[in-house]
Amino acid sequence: MISGKLFRDAVINAAICLESKKKQVDELNVYPVPDGDTGTNMSMTINAAKNELLLLGDEVTISKAADTAASAMLRGARGNSGVILSIVFRGFSKGFKELSKADCGHFANALELGADAAYKAVMKPSEGTILTVARVSAQAAQKVHNSTNELSLFWRAVCDAASDVLAKTPDMLPILKKSGVVDAGGQGLLIIFEAMLEIFNGGKVRDGSVQSDASVSVAAADEDADIRFTYCTECIITKSHDCKDPASLRAYLETIGDCVLVVDDEEIIKVHVHTNNPGKVLERALDYGFINLPKIENMKLQHDGKKKELMQKSARKSVERTKPEKKYGFVAVAAGHGVEALFKDLGADCIVSGGQTMNPSTEDILDAVYSTPAETVFILPNNKNIIMAAEQVVKFADRGVCVLQTRTIPQGISAMLAFDESADISDNKVAMTRAFEKVSTGLVTFAARDTEFDGKSIKKGEIIALDNNRLAFTDKDMNKVVLKLVKKLINSDTSFVTLIYGADVTDENAEKMQKLISQKLSDKIEVTLINGGQPVYYYIISVE
């Protein structure tokens, strides 16, 4: 039977292992654009569970351990890969519900629940991804649990199946084969499964379990974590008429402990010592007189209790939930002072800092929803890798939440411009969706890695043009890229072009770019320039 402690330690070990290997997983990403890398997102997601699991005692049931992990991962989920991982672990929570221990059959059913739910959560699931690895692993679990209930053999078979299908992912996704890599999300899941196997095989949790993100402040605040002597022992001795020299008592106490303090006057002796033998302290004290006010405290228990208290405080985020004062509110995900100010001007109540390379967690977005004083809150993710995390907020929120699937900043802006305060939520959702779907977005950024993508050889540092999130072309001259991309995006119906320039573009260069584009385009097209201050993207181009 699989205990809660065993499952707890397995997940903690998986988090530590993935943390050490996240860069290896990040490097498997074949898309050259800087992004919220898969390994980092998955690591941050499972580390949210580790921090909560470290607070559980050894007597925890497997139901409680699985619930704790699933809840923490869902709240801490970042990026699509992190959300999918949290859904897989929610399957464990459902499969182990109300169980104190589980067998391999329970484990197989739980994994199947998670894999099935993960497929349903993705609008257009693709084979050759983390979904495939989860599904094939679950199928293997269902087959093998009928032939063995030996946990290590059972989970070894699951890991073997995951490894085998991961190796085949390049045959399922041509882009992986061209780049000569396996799927990053699938690799992350395999690392997690194999780290769990280490515990199921009788191994110990790897170094790093105590120094969790939540307990860093504990370690910094309490340097006496390595307690050699357990008991803080104190007493006051009323001296006998023939009391010996207290210096001899000090000498003795120094042989059985540390932090020795012996102070006396004509009538009493005050004693303080850290020792593993408090009985010997009191027994020797009787040689000097009568004992008063003896006190013995277990410092290890005190330390653990204080550490747990600090960890709990660190793990919990105290967010004041605002009371609804209006019918509708908005939460937008954005980065850059100008972009954030633009959304604020359009009526956004709360901005979640994030975007490309900075995928906020479900809990980050939930906190923003709680800070919005509205009965119904519209969420604008403005990035395709944040949509799934935003959609999980619906499960937690204490008010109405509507997630609009905006994939770019221009789409989010267009959606807010289409909002009608007098309309109901359904009509607004339709109108705002129609509005942002009409917007064409161009993005100008840089290649984060050498790769071959869609038949093109791309070198790290080259300027990349994205046409509605699809790689269009590359060049070494940024201004040429911007002009060429604008021409590619416009059509006969275009009336407006908006250039939002980023933190790495000077005002002078941006103004020259605006003037150049205005000269090259029809007089009927208005070209607007906005200082967005955003990271990663030199230019965000909106065409309407």
Average pLDDT over residues 392-416: 92
What angle, rounded to 10 degrees, do the helices at 246-256 and 278-285 form?
A: 170
User: Given this model, what pLDDT does residue 218 score?
Assistant: 33
How much is the average pLDDT of 37-63? Answer: 92
Q: What pLDDT does 213 receive?
A: 34
Query: What SS3 class is residue 435?
Result: helix
Helix and strand element counts for the chain (H, E): 20, 18
**pLDDT at residue 350, rounded to an integer:** 95
Reported confidence tier of residue 215, pLDDT bands at 50, 70, 90: very low
- Rounded CA-CA distance 120/508 in Å is 49
List, for residues 421-454, the tens digit of each pLDDT value.
Answer: 999 999 999 999 999 999 999 999 988 777 766 6
Tokens of 350: 């709360």
Please report which helix (H) or strand (E) contains residue 85, including its range.
helix 79-95
On the question of pLDDT at 542 being above 50, the answer is: yes
Half-sphere exposure of 12 (CA within 13 A, CB side): 26
Kindly tell me if the per-residue pLDDT of 271 is higher than 70.
Answer: yes
pLDDT digits (tens, 9 = 90+) for 285-317: 999 999 987 888 787 666 565 555 545 544 444
Phi/psi of residue 329, nearest 5 degrees = -145, 170
Q: How far is CA 535 from CA 19, 207, 332, 357, 442, in A?
A: 25, 35, 16, 9, 15
Helices (H), 392-506: 409-417, 425-437, 478-489
Cα separation, 406 vs 536, whole angstroms = 18
Tokens of 181: 């890599």
**Rounded mean pLDDT of the chain?**
87
User: In the predicted model, what is the mean pLDDT of residues 403-408?
Assistant: 94
- Model pLDDT for residues 522-538, shown as the tens digit of each residue: 888 899 999 999 988 99
CA separation for the pair 315, 362 (Å, rounded): 15
What is the model's pLDDT at position 455?
Answer: 65
